[in-house]
């Protein structure tokens, strides 16, 4: 069975701090995709990144970076120099290619960035 665990339910930081959101996944499949989505207070789900299981390169996009480590089944997300606009719920998700085609979500981490 597939499972995604986001152990941090809520995180609160002060603006300009760096913050890392943890994601641990479980699957026996060798081909899969990992995602991060952002859900701001307005409620929509915004796609941030997709990473496939064969690409362990870390990725950086502006203030956002992702660390994928298959050895620990983790796909952590770091926001550098956080801003108030980063306040949102962040979801990590797992997708098995050729399986149930189901995107399995973690419970989400609520990030609050205070001015």
Partner 1 sequence: DAGVIQSPRHEVTEMGQEVTLRCKPISGHDYLFWYRQTMMRGLELLIYFNNNVPIDDSGMPEDRFSAKMPNASFSTLKIQPSEPRDSAVYFCASSLWETGNTIYFGEGSWLTVV
Looking at beta carbons only, is 37 or 82 nearer to partner 1? 37
Question: What is the rounded (10 degree) CA torsion for 100, 95, 55, 9?
Answer: -150
Looking at beta carbons only, is 45 or 81 nearer to partner 1? 45
From candidates 10, 12, 20, 50, binder to partner 1 by CB under 8 A: 50
Q: How many residues bind partner 1 (CB under 8 A)?
A: 20
Q: Give the list of residues 6+ apart from residue 111 with CB closer than 8 angstroms, or none.
A: 10, 11, 12, 13, 19, 21, 79, 82, 86, 87, 88, 89, 90
**Residue 102, interface with partner 1 (CB under 8 A)?**
yes
- Where does this chain touch partner 1 (CB under 8 A) — which range of 10-18, 21-29, 43-51, 75-83? 43-51
**Residue 69, interface with partner 1 (CB under 8 A)?**
no
d(CA 97, CA 100): 8
d(CA 24, CA 106): 9
**Residue 41, interface with partner 1 (CB under 8 A)?**
no
Residues found near partner 1 in the complex (CB under 8 A): 33, 35, 37, 43-47, 50, 52, 91, 95, 97, 100-103, 105, 107-108
């Amino acid at each position: 069975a597939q499972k995604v665990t986001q152990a941090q339910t809520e995180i609160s930081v002060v603006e300009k701090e760096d913050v890392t959101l943890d994601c641990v996944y479980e699957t026996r499949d060798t081909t899969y995709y990992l995602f991060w989505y952002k859900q701001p207070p307005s409620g929509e789900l915004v796609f941030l990144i997709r990473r496939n299981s064969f690409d362990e390169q870390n990725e950086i996009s502006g203030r956002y970076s992702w660390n994928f480590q298959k050895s620990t089944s983790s796909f952590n997300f770091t926001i550098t120099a956080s801003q108030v606009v980063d306040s949102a719920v962040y979801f990590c998700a797992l997708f098995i290619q050729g399986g149930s085609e189901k995107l399995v979500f973690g419970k989400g981490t609520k990030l609050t960035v205070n001015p």
